[in-house]
Amino acid sequence: MSTMDLMLVAALAAALGSVLLGRGSTRLVRALPPRLAVPAMTLAAVLLAACTVGTLLLVAAGYALGWGPIAAFGGIRPDQLHARLPIPGALAAAAGAAAVLLLLRLGFRAVHLTVAAVRSARYCRRLPGRARLVFVPGDDAVAVSGRPGRVMVGRGLYRRLDPVQRRALIAHERSHLVRRHHAYLQATELAIALNPLLTPVGAAVRFAVERWADEDAVQRIGDRTEVAMAIATAAVRAARPAPAGAAGAALAAARSHTVGRVQVLLADPTPSRPLGPVAAALALALVLLLTATGALDLHHAVEAAQPAAH
C-alpha cells in the first residue's frame, strides 16, 4: 500500500470510526460501569477527533510540502516527493480547508467554554458563605463548577424530600464536583467541535456522568430506591433553568435522562458486557495505528526527497 493510499485509508477509518462510535455510544456506556464508561468514552472521542483532523492535515501536508516556496525552504525535491505522494491538488486543498474549518470550530468552542467557566467561578464567589452546600430559593439542585465548586439546593425541593432522599440528592451533586464531571463533559464538547460526526457521544457521556453520580449516591446511602425517588421528585419539581451565571457549567440531578436513570436504579444490577467495549477499543487502536503509520510514512517520504539530508 502506497503512502497516499495509507493516508486516505486512515482518514476514512477515522471518519467511519467516529460514525460508529456515535451510533453505538448509548449501548457502550450502558455496557460498562459509569465510572469506567465516562473516561473511556471521553478518551475515545478525543482520540478519534484528533485522528480525524490529523489525517486531513497529513493529506494536505503531503501536497503542500512539495509546493515551491515550502519545498525550497525545506530543501525538498518536489518531483521526488510527488512521485512518492501523488496527491491531487484538489484533494489536498479540500482536506486542508476541512481541517482549518474544524480547527476554527474547536477554537470558538474552547472560547465559549472558557467564558462559561469564568462566569461560573464568579457566580460561585458571589454565593453567600464559604460552605460547598448553599440553599437558595427554588425547586432545583445543581452542582456549579468553580474554585471551589458549589452545590445549590432549592429550599422548596429540599422540603419535599425525606431525610434519606435529601442525603441522596446532596451526595449526587457533590459527586459531580468531587469526580470533576464537568471536565469530562467539556472535553467531549471540544471533541465534538473538532469532529461533528461524534455529536451523539455528547448525550451518551452526559447520561453516563449522571449515572456515575447516581451510583455514588447509592454507595453513600445504601438504598437504590431512595436515590431513584429523590431523582424523580427533583425532576417533577424542577421547572426553572439553571441560574444565568452558572448555566454554562451546571450539572443538575433532574435535568438529564431522568426516566432512563430511574429505570436503571430500580432494575436489578446487571454485570458488565465487555464484548462491545472491547471491539470498540480494538477499532480505536486500529485507527490510531493507521494514523501513526501514515504520519511516519510521510516523514520518510519527505526525508527521501531531501537529497541534502543524506
What pLDDT does 272 receive?
62
Backbone dihedral angles phi then psi of residue 130, each to the nearest 5 degrees: -120, -5
The contacts of residue 69 (CB under 8 Å, 6+ apart) are none
Residue 132 binned pLDDT confidence (cut-offs 50, 70, 90):
confident
Do residues 69 and 294 touch, judged by C-beta distance below 8 A? Answer: no
> Shortest CA distance to 201 belongs to which of 21, 11, 10?
21
Residue 111 binned pLDDT confidence (cut-offs 50, 70, 90):
very high
Q: Does residue 239 surpass a pLDDT of 80?
A: no
| Boundaries of domain holding 132 | 3-309
**Within 10 Å of residue 199's Cβ, how many Cβ atoms?**
14
- Cα–Cα distance between 289 and 294 in angstroms, integer? 8
- Cα–Cα distance between 86 and 218 in angstroms, integer? 59
- Cα–Cα distance between 250 and 229 in angstroms, integer? 22
Residue 299 binned pLDDT confidence (cut-offs 50, 70, 90):
confident
- Cα–Cα distance between 145 and 247 in angstroms, integer? 10
Q: Does residue 50 surpass a pLDDT of 90?
A: yes
Q: What is the pLDDT of residues 155-202, one digit of tens each?
A: 988 998 999 999 999 999 999 999 999 999 999 999 999 999 999 999
**Structurally, how many domains does the chain consist of?**
1
Three cell numbers, residue 185: 463533559
- Between the alpha carbon of residue 61 and those of residues 5, 93, 129, 195, 243, the distances in Å are 14, 10, 55, 19, 46
pTM of the model: 0.88
Do residues 28 and 208 touch, judged by C-beta distance below 8 A? Answer: no
What pLDDT does 271 receive?
57
- Residue range 77-104: average pLDDT? 89
Segment among 38-42, 118-122, 203-207, 252-256 with least mean pLDDT: 252-256
What pLDDT does 246 receive?
52
